[in-house]
Amino acid sequence: MKVVVIGAGVIGSAIAANLSERGADVTVLSREHPGAATSLCSFAWYNALQKYPVEYIDMNVNGMRCHAQYAARFVSAPWYHKGGNIEWTVGGEHADDQIKVMKDMQAFGYKGRLITAKEVLALEPDIAPAALKDAQIVYYPDEGWIDVVLLVARLLADARSFGAKIVTGAEVTGFDAVGDRISAVRLADGSKIEADVVVNAAGPAADDIAAYVGHSVPMTQEPGTQVYTGPVAITIDRVIHAPGISMRPDGGGRVCLHNHGIDREIKKGTGIDDQIVKTASGYSFDVKAAGPMLERAAAVYPGLANPVVETARIALRPIPKDRWPIIGFGSSTSNLYTTVMHSGVSQCLWVGQIVGQEISSGKEVDYLKSFRLSRFAGRVVETVKVVHR
């Protein structure tokens, strides 16, 4: 079976690795270098929190399990970082919301518990005790973060070991079709790649790819901004969600910072004091816009006072309109397989396995029935609003 995977982010790479291992003749097409788009700009926190309903929580829990199993196959798995997630609130309605989420997740069998400030400081001794004053703190021990670029590299190495071809600088410009089936993928350089199945794993460009055969993927694109410090001499060993700021380690002594407020301002199209500007090719980010994030981070970890900011990355995240994954074949083009989802880092290895099984066997997997594109047929879907803690 000749399979062309469009997109070499974490989803496309996981699918390519699994299909190659199952014996498919796989070609991966990447417009830039692998992992260069949304995967490069992810907070990369693997978790299943608030991913209602139970089918979606289950998919994310399976993804977390697959990460642990995949990492265990190697003597060293530098992309996989355990340690859990510590989050806290200080008063107000968010404290009630936090307890509700924890109890809901516990009901699904998901590990999470209240911990004391003393316990936090035993785990993260460089946190300022004052940052935890009057805090309600929850610890989710099975969560963590992924170095996505390293994981993409490992998955594509697996795919190549089973004969897959990775083509970079490959701009898809259309398809050749016979009846309701794509026969070849056309590239900007004039070449064509024959295909029995085409997997659309193009992330935020998935709707553009689908448009070549007259399809539409009900999705939106939401900006996600991460700020990366230079090396700092603090110990931060896990994902931290403090009021107004999220943090995690990023290797080499660096720290990754995220704040939903910046993302919301970008989405409004107004920028933040004109320091984040939308351009024809993406976004321009003046690191001065990171000032409030750095101040909040330093209030939690005093060792983060006045750090060097090495870079800031902004990417468009592919979000299905109802925020559930879209996975499976369409109807009018029978061999175009769509994979669009948020939380791709959490789900990628499980999705790679189950999509690989479905495509290679030619039989629909019942597990995916809730996530089919067909659920949007004949209805207008409003974008679901999510309140971030």
The amino acid at residue 284 is S
Using alpha carbons only, what angle is made at residue 343 by residues 352 and 93, rounded to the nearest 5 degrees?
Answer: 155
Residue 70 lies in a domain: no
Whether 84 and 199 share a structural domain: no
Whole-model pTM: value is: 0.92
Count of Cβ atoms closer than 10 Å to residue 354 Cβ: 21
Mean pLDDT of 101-119: 97
Query: How far is the C-alpha of 200 from the C-alpha of 340, rounded, in Å?
Result: 8
The domain spanning residue 105 has which CATH number?
A: 3.30.9.10
Statement to judge: residues 173 and 209 lie in one domain = yes
Looking at the fold, whether 113 and 225 belong to one and the same domain comes out as yes
Query: Do residues 156 and 17 make contact, with C-beta atoms less than 8 angstroms apart?
Result: yes
Distance from C-alpha of 304 to C-alpha of 308, rounded to nearest angstrom: 9
Quote the domain boundaries for residue 54.
2-63+148-218+321-376
Q: Which residue has the higher pLDDT, 267 or 5?
A: 5
- Same domain (yes/no): 214, 276: no
- Asked if 242 and 139 sit in the same domain, the reply is yes
Q: Average the pLDDT over 244-248 and give the result.
A: 94
Which of 32, 40, 44, 28 lies closest to 352 in space, CA to CA?
Answer: 28
Indicate the pLDDT class of residue 273, thresholds 50, 70 and 90. very low
Cβ pair 197, 338 in contact under 8 A: no
Specify the pLDDT at position 130: 97
Domain boundary among 278, 302, 318: 318
**Structure tokens given for 159:** 């795919």
